[in-house]
């Protein structure tokens, strides 16, 4: 796509319209570097400067601001252009041509990077190329603001579907019944953090949520940097069958009931389209894999990553800035592709040294960036891990530390055979309150 004609038409239209709202809008969105021709770029810069100073935009003012070699072009262009009606269309074409030139330049850089790869650094070079490709932006966005009143018909359709019990497509059910009842599910652009200390069930809860989303929206991708693909498969089989990992690892002791559950679970998983990839991957490599799978009509229903601290950190001055780069890119992936990301994370060891073990946002490692980018932060917590005499055995607390579209709250699930199961909230809340009262009385006695 040749840009000279579009650039000429745009500059001519801006000279014709002068200090007009359309010209101000274009100057605010289209940088001078978008112009390939240096004469037209010079004229555009002068027009922008005149408008910003609220000075007249006419050929003679523009001539006085450009270089000598460009002055003759100003008068010739102003005489040829007699209308500014298509000014927005010309600006869009100039931007598109600029994005294509940038894309070609980036692709050539990627080709040169691959050509320079050697046996000793081929993985690093591939990672560099993946980063280059993920930054490609062929921007043709001409969406305009829409009046809220004009959107009400679409929203009423969503409400009608919900009233009929059908899915609106806007939100994804987590499979955690009290969470779905309270919030209505998660948004398709959410970055969801599941964080906890070892043994709390982070991976199990993630598989639970991912399987629920996958059942609604199609194929999902689980990136495992801690377990092998076979271990992830075993976790999925255990989750679907309700059997413990111990039973699956000692199949000679299985009973007929176990075989029935196992057969049903494997049959279900065979029909579904969940994928697993194990190994060590940079955030750019993870995003490249996910975007490849998101191509086509069916798309990707979720991306789950186990876990944040195992992702190789990009170069940065401080560890928290490296983490910020990772979470920022993952959030951009969510927004760009409308695919939710479930990201597991560890907590600081400081939790272990205090009497109250329930986690808070401050317990997240390098928590600043995680808190900022995450839409949802979930802390699974089981009191029996720390207190073998706990009255809350068999109960897990699902602590929502952050929910961008609602209030943080604590929910309860059962813990059976190493799996989360839905339970009555009132009964669990009563047991929790009694346990807290008993703990307080013991502390008073000790004091």
- List, for residues 130-181, the tens digit of each pLDDT value: 767 766 655 544 445 566 777 677 777 767 766 665 554 556 788 888 888 8
Tokens of 224: 């495992």
Most trustworthy range by pLDDT among 89-103, 114-128, 358-372: 89-103
Element (H, E) at 403: strand 395-403
Element (H, E) at 380: strand 376-381
Helix (H, G, I), strand (E, B) or coil at 362: helix
Residue 272 CB neighbour total at 10 angstroms: 14
What topology is assigned to 4-89 in CATH?
Answer: DNAb Helicase; Chain A (1.10.860)
Q: Is 398 left (phi over 0), alpha (psi -120 to 50) or beta?
A: beta
Which CATH code is given to the segment(s) 169-375? 3.40.50.300
CA distance 274 to 309: 24
Q: What is the mean pLDDT of residues 260-275?
A: 82
Per-residue pLDDT tens digits for 214-234: 676 668 899 988 888 888 888
Angle at the Cα of 377 from the Cα atoms of 217 and 418, rounded to 5 degrees: 75
User: Please, what's the largest Cα pairwise distance for the chain?
Assistant: 94
Above 90 in pLDDT, residue 76? Answer: no
> Which stretch of 156-170, 242-256, 321-335, 363-377 has the lowest confidence by average pLDDT?
156-170
Per-residue pLDDT tens digits for 182-209: 888 888 889 999 998 888 888 888 888 8
Per-residue pLDDT tens digits for 407-442: 888 898 888 888 888 888 877 777 777 766 666 655
CA distance 31 to 402: 38
Ranges of each domain in the chain: 4-89, 169-375
Write down the pLDDT at residue 443.
52
Tokens of 229: 């693909």
More confidently predicted of 33 and 244: 33
CA distance 307 to 195: 9
Per-residue pLDDT tens digits for 380-416: 988 888 887 777 788 888 999 998 888 888 898 888 8
Contacts of 241 (CB under 8 A, 6+ apart): 258, 261, 262, 264, 265
Mean pLDDT for the chain overall: 82
């Amino acid at each position: 796509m040749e840009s000279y004609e579009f650039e000429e038409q745009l500059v001519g239209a801006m000279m014709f319209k002068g200090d007009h709202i359309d010209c101000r809008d274009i100057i605010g969105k289209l940088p001078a570097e978008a112009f390939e021709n240096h004469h037209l770029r010079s004229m555009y810069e002068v027009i922008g400067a005149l408008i910003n100073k609220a000075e007249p935009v006419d050929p003679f003012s523009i001539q006085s601001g450009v270089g000598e070699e460009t002055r003759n072009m100003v008068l010739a262009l102003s005489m040829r252009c007699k209308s500014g009606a298509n000014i927005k269309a010309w600006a869009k074409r100039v931007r598109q041509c600029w994005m294509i030139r940038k894309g070609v330049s980036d692709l050539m850089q990627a080709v040169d990077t691959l050509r320079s790869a050697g046996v000793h650094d081929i993985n690093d070079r591939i990672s560099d190329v993946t980063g280059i490709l993920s930054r490609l932006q062929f921007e043709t966005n001409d969406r305009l603001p829409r009046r809220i009143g004009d959107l009400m018909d679409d929203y009423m359709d969503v409400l009608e579907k919900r009233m009929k019990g059908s899915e609106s497509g806007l939100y994804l059910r987590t499979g955690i019944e009290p969470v779905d009842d309270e919030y209505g599910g998660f948004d398709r652009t959410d970055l969801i953090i599941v964080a906890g200390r070892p043994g709390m069930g982070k991976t199990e809860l993630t598989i639970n949520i991912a399987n629920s989303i996958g059942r609604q929206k199609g194929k999902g991708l689980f990136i495992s940097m801690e377990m092998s693909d076979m271990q992830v498969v075993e976790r999925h089989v255990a989750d679907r069958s309700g059997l413990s990992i111990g039973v699956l690892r000692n199949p000679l002791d299985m009973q007929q009931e176990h075989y029935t559950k196992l057969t049903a679970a494997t049959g279900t998983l065979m029909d579904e389209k969940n994928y697993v990839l194990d190994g060590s991957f940079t955030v750019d490599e993870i995003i490249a894999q996910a975007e490849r799978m998101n191509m086509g009509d069916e798309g990707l229903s979720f991306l789950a990553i186990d876990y944040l601290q195992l992702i190789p950190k990009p170069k940065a001055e401080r560890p928290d800035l490296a983490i910020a780069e990772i979470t920022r890119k993952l959030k951009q992936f969510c927004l760009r592709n409308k695919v939710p990301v479930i990201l597991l994370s560890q907590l600081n060891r400081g939790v272990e040294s205090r009497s109250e073990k329930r986690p808070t946002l401050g317990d997240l490692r390098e928590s600043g960036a995680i808190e900022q980018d995450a839409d949802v932060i979930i802390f699974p917590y089981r009191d029996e891990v720390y207190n073998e005499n706990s009255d809350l055995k068999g109960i897990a607390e699902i602590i929502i530390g952050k929910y961008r579209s609602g209030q943080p709250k604590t929910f309860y699930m059962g813990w059976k055979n190493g799996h989360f199961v839905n339970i009555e909230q009132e009964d669990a809340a009563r047991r929790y309150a009694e346990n807290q009262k008993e703990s307080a009385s013991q502390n008073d006695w000790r004091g």
